[in-house]
């Protein structure tokens, strides 16, 4: 699979959308609260910032042929959460592609399970204010856990919010190093 990030959220999920014209948005309606609730999360997955970030990486990673626990993934996200990937197109322009968790599961899930995919956090910068946390999580992606080098690196920008005693993913935006340019030193592991 070409580029992917939070791993594989990206290219496999994004290309089908990037090549289709976007419909005009419907007339603005008053914002209604979400009518769906995610599956109940394992309390250990959502007890801390460290736990929920680790759960995000764990749930998408695994060898070829291994089913992923998509309900676990759904349980990490707020019902109104969304994702976005920033892609550089062949003509040098960029495009932001927006996804829901269900978009990701439908479009990237089969590729992750068929091809194998392991993504790990290699560095992190965290900013916190009250119950709001912004995590810049630098990642490395491999096809197998034993691969000596990643096929891709990049940054996941993860916004988290604490509500009713647990953490939720509110938004994830990511960009691969191949699209965004070399990773700056402040987002790389300390040597």
Which pLDDT score, from 0 to 100, does residue 29 have? 46
Helix extents (H) in 27-169: 49-60, 70-76, 101-107, 109-115
Residue 62: how many CB atoms within 10 A of its CB?
17
pTM: 0.82
pLDDT of residue 191: 78
The pLDDT of residue 35? 52
Q: What is the pLDDT of residue 77?
A: 98
- Predicted pLDDT at 32: 45
pLDDT in tens, the chain (191 residues): 444 444 444 343 333 333 333 344 444 444 444 457 889 999 999 999 999 999 999 999 999 999 999 999 999 999 999 999 999 999 999 999 999 999 999 999 999 999 999 999 999 999 999 999 999 999 999 999 999 999 999 999 999 999 999 999 999 999 999 999 999 999 999 87
**Domain 11-19+43-178: CATH architecture, name and number where available:** Roll (3.10)
Nearest alpha-carbon partner for 81 in 187, 185, 177, 172: 172
- Return the domain boundaries, the chain: 11-19+43-178
Q: Is 179 exposed, middle or buried (0-12, 13-18, 19+ CB in 10 A)?
A: buried
Quick one: pLDDT at residue 16? 34
Question: What is the radius of gyration, based on Cα positions, of the chain?
Answer: 16
In terms of C-beta density within 10 A (0-12 exposed, 13-18 middle, 19 or more buried), how is residue 92 classed?
A: exposed
pLDDT given at position 5: 45
Residue 118: predicted pLDDT = 98
């Amino acid at each position: 699979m070409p580029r992917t990030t939070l791993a594989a959220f990206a290219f496999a999920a994004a290309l089908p959308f990037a090549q289709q014209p976007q419909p005009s948005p419907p007339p603005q309606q008053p914002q209604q609260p979400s009518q769906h609730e995610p599956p109940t999360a394992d309390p250990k997955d959502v007890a801390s910032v460290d736990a929920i970030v680790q759960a995000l990486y764990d749930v998408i990673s695994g060898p070829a042929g291994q089913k992923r626990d998509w309900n676990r993934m759904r349980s990490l996200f707020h019902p109104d959460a969304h994702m976005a990937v920033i892609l550089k197109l062949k003509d040098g322009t960029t495009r932001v592609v927006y996804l829901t968790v269900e978009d990701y599961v439908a479009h990237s899930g089969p590729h992750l399970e068929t091809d194998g995919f392991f993504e790990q956090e290699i560095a992190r910068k965290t900013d916190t204010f009250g119950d709001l946390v912004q995590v810049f999580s630098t990642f490395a992606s491999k096809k197998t856990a034993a691969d000596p080098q990643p096929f891709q690196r990049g940054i996941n920008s993860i916004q988290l919010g604490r509500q009713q005693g647990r953490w939720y993913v509110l938004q994830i935006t990511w960009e691969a190093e191949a699209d965004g340019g070399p990773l700056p030193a402040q987002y790389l592991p300390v040597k």
